[in-house]
Amino acid sequence: MAEYIKLIDLTKCTGCRGCQVACKQWNELPAEKTGFTGSLQNPMDLSYSTWCLIRYDEFDEADGMKWIMRHDACMHCDWPACVKACPSPGALVKTDSGAVVHDPNYCIGCKACIVACPFDIPRYSEHEEKIAKCTLCYNRITDGKSPACVTACPTGTLEFGPKEDMLAKAHARAEAVGGSVYPNNPKYETHVIYVVPGDVKLAALQHVNPNPKMPTTILWWKNLFKPFTLIGMGGVAGMAALHYFIKGPHRVEKKEEGGEADG
């Protein structure tokens, strides 16, 4: 299957939340009871039953307040930290399409993916003892459709297509509006990319990791210490065997006068 990318053009988003609702509907996720907290953002965070959220960031500028609405969901990393951390095979799978799919049947609720994810995406349910997150509508894209959120978007903010096309489009658009493409770490590519308007500082937005990458501790955990548990135990066992064959067991010496030689 070809590799796809979901492109989010923040210069076009009006914050209508069509994507947020379409996600709920397609994935049959229940609505949450929320209250007014002083922000138009609702609910205030992603959750086990909210996999896609429009975040409303407010900025005071010289000519008044300004909003940036940002579609927040799983970034479908090319080298996903969540998959690296997950102990249960099949619970998190990186597919050829680029979508990182979560299968609750295999999830054991260990929460390792939550810690590993550089974008803070997976959400845990105490009740289900599992996590949940966006699957890039894997069951739609394998059927030739776009993800539900993209289908619902009325402004053209969300677009879905072959990787190369979307990358070219994002860079052209970024140049046209004097903005940038996020994320742009060649060592940590994602299958969801943003076009960010030039006057928006990423670090000022809520819940954005300006420099997403595979967390070093996660890398050391899985690529260094993990193999070395076996190398360490195996090496020591080999050394013990060698010792046994060369030196033999350390037998108790019959005590002769004045000497305690080794056996």
Question: What residues contact residue 169 under an 8 Å CB cut-off, 6+ apart?
Answer: 7, 159, 161
Q: Taken in order 234, 239, 245, 250, is the CA torsion positive or negative?
A: negative
Opening angle at CA 11, ends 149 and 64, nearest 5: 120
Residue 69 interacts with ligand SF4 (CB under 6 A): yes or no: no
Q: What is the C-alpha separation between 167 and 194, in angstroms, rounded? A: 10
Nearer residue to ligand SF4 within complex by CB, 177 or 209: 209
Residue 108 interacts with ligand SF4 (CB under 6 A): yes or no: yes
Give the rounded distance of the alpha carbon of 130 from its chain centre. 16
User: Which one of residues 154, 172, 176, 247 is an interface residue with another protein (CB under 8 A)?
Assistant: 247
* Span interacting with ligand SF4, options 12-20, 118-126, 224-232, 253-261, rule CB under 6 A: 118-126
Q: What is the C-alpha separation between 92 and 85, in angstroms, rounded? A: 9
User: Which one of residues 8, 91, 152, 208 is an interface residue with ligand SF4 (CB under 6 A)?
Assistant: 91
Q: Are 166 and 159 in contact (CB under 8 A)?
A: yes
Q: How far is the CB of 127 from ligand SF4 (least distance, A)?
A: 14
Residue 100 interacts with ligand SF4 (CB under 6 A): yes or no: yes
User: Which one of residues 251, 256, 257, 258 is an interface residue with another protein (CB under 8 A)?
Assistant: 251
Residue 226 interacts with another protein (CB under 8 A): yes or no: yes
Residue 250 interacts with another protein (CB under 8 A): yes or no: yes
Please give the C-alpha separations between residue 96 and each of 13, 89, 99, 141, in angstroms, as whole numbers: 29, 17, 7, 11
Q: Of the candidates 145, 131, 125, 124, which has an alpha carbon nearest to the alpha carbon of residue 102?
A: 131
Please give the structure tokens belonging to residue 119. 């974008």
Residue 127 interacts with another protein (CB under 8 A): yes or no: no
Provide the binding-site residues for ligand SF4, judged by CB under 6 A. 74-77, 80-82, 85-88, 91-92, 100, 102, 107-113, 117, 119, 121-122, 131, 133
Provide the binding-site residues for another protein, judged by CB under 8 A. 85, 87-89, 106, 108-112, 114-116, 120, 124, 215, 217-218, 220-221, 225-226, 228-230, 232-233, 235-237, 240, 243-244, 247, 249-255, 260-262
